[in-house]
Structures are given as C-alpha cells and as structure tokens.
C-alpha cells in the first residue's frame, strides 16, 4: 500500500484555471508528480465519456478545475461540467467505487496557490482511498 502512486487526470479550462496555473508556476508552486494536466477550451466541453475514460485506462482519480460560476467566460461551462461530474460520481457509486475519486473545483484567475493546493488535495485524497482494483 505504501508504494501506491496514484495517477490522477486533471482537466482545467483555458481561462480562469489556466491563469491560476500560470500564477502558480510563477510562484514556483508545483503540481505533484502523478497528476497529469489536460487543458480544455472550456470545462463545458468535457463530456461524461471524457471523465470515464481515464478511470478505464488506469487513472485512480479525476478532477475538473474551472472558473467560478459568476466568472465563466462561456457563462455556464463549469455548471455543465459539475453536472457531468455528478453523473460520473453516480456511475462510480453503482460500481462500488468511491465517488470522491472525481471532483469539480472552481477557482478564480489569480488563485495560483489554490491551483497547486487542489492538486495536492486530490493526491492526498486518492492516496488514502488506495487503488481502484483493491490491490
């Protein structure tokens, strides 16, 4: 169990979350190894299948980092993403997999510290949950 190295896939939008990523970088705050970042134009573009595929292919956790509700460039991207994340949580639950392995985070453009913190938070959470296959 101690050698379990979680693999996490993170989707982040090209707007708020991406700016936060830049701030985070300029502050030399790194994202833990094992977190793979995928930038998308808007989190509203992320389909349910995009959120499931990583689990199918070996990820232990997935998260979406997007804008705050009132600052989404495309109005409702993050709300759409949140609903799809909720759908995937339900699917995971039905498969007896912890729904906490997927999450949505909302952050504003300047929150570089928060951007790095979210990645560590998810890493810690998934580390505690252990591998999906149960060994």
Binders of another protein among 34-93, rule CB under 8 A?
47-49, 52-53, 55-56, 58, 91-92
Out of 95, 103, 120, 129, the only residue in the binding site for another protein (CB under 8 A) is 95
Contact between 126 and 101 (Cβ < 8 Å): yes
Say whether residue 126 binds another protein (CB under 8 A): no
Pick from 100, 20, 29: nearest CA to 65: 20
Q: Give kind and range of the element (H or E) at residue 125.
A: helix 112-129
Min separation Cβ 52 and another protein, Å? 4
Number of residues that bind another protein (CB under 8 A): 17
Min separation Cβ 18 and another protein, Å? 27
* Cβ nearer to another protein, comparing 38 with 49: 49
Burial zone of 126 (CB within 10 Å; 0-12 exposed, 13-18 middle, 19+ buried): buried
Would you say the C-alpha torsion 103, 39, 76, 65 has a positive or negative sign?
positive
Name the site residues for another protein (rule: CB under 8 A): 47-49, 52-53, 55-56, 58, 91-92, 94-97, 132-134
């Amino acid at each position: 169990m101690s050698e379990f190295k979680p693999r996490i896939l993170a989707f982040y939008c090209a707007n708020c979350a991406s700016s936060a990523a830049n701030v985070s970088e300029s502050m030399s705050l790194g994202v833990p190894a094992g977190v793979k970042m995928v930038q998308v134009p808007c989190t509203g573009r992320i389909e349910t299948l995009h959120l499931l595929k990583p689990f199918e292919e070996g990820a232990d956790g997935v998260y979406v980092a997007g804008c705050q509700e009132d600052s989404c460039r495309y109005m409702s991207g993050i709300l759409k993403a949140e609903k799809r994340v909720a759908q995937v949580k339900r699917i995971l639950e039905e498969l007896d997999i912890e729904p906490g392995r997927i999450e949505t985070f909302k952050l504003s453009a300047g929150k570089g510290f928060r951007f790095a913190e979210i990645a560590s938070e998810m890493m810690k959470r998934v580390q505690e949950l252990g591998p999906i296959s149960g060994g």
